[in-house]
Amino acid sequence: MAHAKTIDVPIEGMDCVECTQHVAAAIESLQGVEGVEVFLAAKKARVVLDPAQADLAAVRQAVASAGYSVPMQESQPTAPPPLVDFSRRIMVLFGAVFAAVLVIIVVGEWLGLLKAVTDRIPWYIALAIVLVGGFPVFRKVWLAILQRRITTHALMTVGVIAAVTIGEWATAAIVVFFMRVGDYVEGFTTDRSRMALRDLENMAPDQARVQRNGKEFELPISEIEVGEMVIVRPGEKIPVDGIVIDGHAMVDQSTVTGESMPIDVGAGARVFAATLAHQGSLRVEVTHVGAQSTFGRVIKLVEEAEANRASVESIADRFSSYFLPLVTIIAVLTYLISRDPMATVAVLVVACSCSFALATPIALLASIGASAKRGLLIKGGRFLEALARADVLLIDKTGTLTLGRPHITDIVAFGEESIEQILALAASAERYSEHPLAEAVRHAAAQRGLELHEPMEFRPLPGRGVQAQINGSIISVGNQSMHGGRPDDQRVSELAAEGKTLLYVMRESTLIGLLAATDTMREEVPAAISKIRDLGVEDIELLTGDSERSAIPLADALGLPFRAGLLPEDKISIVREHQSRGRTVVMIGDGVNDAPALAQADVGISMGAAGVDVAIEASHVALMREDWMLVPELLHISRRTMSVVKMNLALAAIYNLAGLLLAAFGLLPPVVAAAAQSIPDLGILTNSSRLLRQR
């Protein structure tokens, strides 16, 4: 579709994975729809359509046909209501009452007392309960059948009809009651998985104090424009991304970076939306606002993490698709063998494929949302799953293992130019380069007060350096490959032996000077590497575009093998080399120069991505602050998450198998079966909720 466009559509009424499948199927059936992604946690669908054939009204109608709704206007995230604590107490009380009722019903059934009570209920009251209480369920079942989809509720509905047919009115009414309770439990379970995302959304301020024409105005975030001036007072959240023009404050950036210690910011510092200013006021020039801010992008990526599904989710989906036909066969065989209609009803009622569908996404949503609050932005379950089985770690050197802020230590001249002239030419050529070494060259020139020239025909040479026209001459600055070989000079040999990075400065094809730079390893790296090895990742390798001599000191200090003098395409080849041997490769880089290799790896991790759009987009996982201890923490979270997923799947499988066997042999009455089918959902909720409290 040449004119296809993408729209986000809020969806109300989804409370399980099965719901998202129904919504997706309904929208995909529309003519002109090219693609659909439905996000349970964000309660929305992303639809790619041809405006000439489909529009929002058509999508709204399709969603309604599936039993759900599209609100007329998407509501903005709001803070939790003041009665939230009270509502939680009510939920606890409801749970206690429900548990008591469940015990009474189950015990009464097994002691034979329940039937004596239910026989006294007039059939017309029971029928009214079935019709009124079951209508929302029966409606969704009917709409699903119209779409040629069979759901778990379809089997339970057949069970209710069967109970009514044989005159078990009270049994049918109790089954309907527990069907509705099961829906509530399922919705509550899903809502709990949304908690981390909802907490994130509630951290963002919805108002900003803007300075216009010398006056201050309180305005909604949606009305703030880039370039405007925002005033932040002590104790207020910063509403936008921007640059501090004047003022001074301590800023808590934990909402973006996960770092609990506030940082000192003043004029020229970058600040982020949803961070909290303490002990001072700031005047901030807006650079990004709303969804375009770093915090807005974090929320968007966490919302869309569902799209990158783990392979274990697909396995669970396939199992669910076979589970319902299997239950139907078991129910038919139960009736044919036992001629017991109550046992047949119990088989239909106890089956719960929803527990399989919930087992994986509930855990993944909880983990991804909780991790985002800790400064770990994971773009989907697929990457959590890959991290859990990672066995190769490739590490970029500059800006990743090191601080990424090298400084020029030595300047060597080979011609008539003075070292100041060489530095000025190099800094002029590097004027528009984003490489950390270019920044070091410019910083050295600024420290000496050198005047720079405006470069003409600036051209980056990936993996080699830069080239620009300065005062009519072609000036090249880069690594040894730029020159073709190290000059026969004792001083240069000494600098290389010290492990320093050498930058060759050339006029046309003549070497006129050389700059030596060095960087400092991050102090937490040795401890982090040790923890990574303890987690079972033994194959760790250092990759760098620098010379071998500059890599040796760092590699020796960490006990790592290394490959030096690499171009970007060489790093991609190394990733593919490991993958061809069936290894799961994780690569860590700065997210800018290493973007192709990060994309090729099974999991690409960018370090210190807060405020760096390229780093956030290029990687599969973004560490929002520059802290190597986040890497073993990330590996630990991934393994803990997949452990919880496996436990959830095992719980669902064992529980359903036991329930089906007990029901088929007549040991599980329909009433108890209906009550019991909600229990695995509660177990999955309890188990997955542990991931909301990552240690």
* Domain span holding position 596: 379-402+521-628
Q: Is 48 left (phi over 0), alpha (psi -120 to 50) or beta?
A: beta
Does residue 538 lie in a domain region? yes
Residue 601 shares a structural domain with residue 472: no
565 DSSP 8-state letter: S
Q: In sequence order, what are the beta bridge partners of 250?
A: 264, 278
Has residue 72 got a pLDDT over 80?
no
Residue 385 shares a structural domain with residue 426: no
For position 82, what pLDDT does the model report?
A: 40
Tokens of 89: 């107490």
Residue 527 shares a structural domain with residue 501: no
Instruction: For residue 156, name the pLDDT band (cuts at 50, 70, 90).
Output: confident
Q: Is 19 left (phi over 0), alpha (psi -120 to 50) or beta?
A: alpha
Number of separate domains in the chain: 4
Residue 418 shares a structural domain with residue 277: no
Other C-beta atoms lying within 10 Å of the C-beta of residue 98: 16
Residues 6+ apart with CB under 8 A from 659: 350, 351, 352, 668, 673, 676, 677
Does residue 438 lie in a domain region? yes
Other C-beta atoms lying within 10 Å of the C-beta of residue 232: 27
Residue 481 shares a structural domain with residue 528: no
**CATH number of residue 61's parent domain:** 3.30.70.100
Residue-wise pLDDT for 326-376, tens only, equals 888 999 999 999 989 889 988 888 877 777 777 888 888 888 888 888 888
Does residue 202 lie in a domain region? no
For position 119, what pLDDT does the model report?
A: 62
Domain final residue pick, 489, 518, 547: 518
User: Could you give the CA distance from residue 384 to residue 283 in angstroms, rounded to a whole number?
Assistant: 40
For position 631, what pLDDT does the model report?
A: 93
- Model pTM score: 0.70
Residue 539 shares a structural domain with residue 455: no
Residue 495 shares a structural domain with residue 592: no
Residue 452 shares a structural domain with residue 502: yes
Residue 512 shares a structural domain with residue 564: no
User: Average of pLDDT values for 670-692?
Assistant: 79
Domain final residue pick, 494, 518, 542: 518
**CATH number of residue 472's parent domain:** 3.40.1110.10
For position 103, what pLDDT does the model report?
A: 54
**CATH number of residue 250's parent domain:** 2.70.150.10
Does residue 9 lie in a domain region? yes
3-state helix, strand, coil in the chain (%, to 5): 50, 20, 30
Percent of the chain with pLDDT over 70: 85
Burial 657-688 (b: 16+ CB within 10 A, else e): eebbebbbeeebbbbbbbbbbbbbbbbbbebb
Does residue 687 lie in a domain region? no
Instruction: For residue 411, name the pLDDT band (cuts at 50, 70, 90).
Output: very high
Residue 481 shares a structural domain with residue 497: yes
Closest CA to 161 of 140, 176, 149: 176
Does residue 557 lie in a domain region? yes
User: Could you give the CA distance from residue 353 to residue 18 in angstroms, rounded to a whole number?
Assistant: 9
Closest CA to 367 of 352, 379, 350, 353: 379
Residue 535 shares a structural domain with residue 561: yes
Q: By mean pLDDT, which of 49-63, 258-272, 327-341, 406-420 is the weakest?
A: 258-272
Catalytic residues: 396
Q: By mean pLDDT, which of 219-223, 454-458, 689-693 is the weakest?
A: 689-693
Instruction: For residue 20, name the pLDDT band (cuts at 50, 70, 90).
Output: confident
> Across the chain, what does the average pLDDT equal?
81
For position 519, what pLDDT does the model report?
A: 79
Domain final residue pick, 628, 649, 667: 628
For position 93, what pLDDT does the model report?
A: 47
Percent of the chain with pLDDT over 90: 21
What's the gap between Cα 366 and its chain centre?
10
Instruction: For residue 390, name the pLDDT band (cuts at 50, 70, 90).
Output: very high
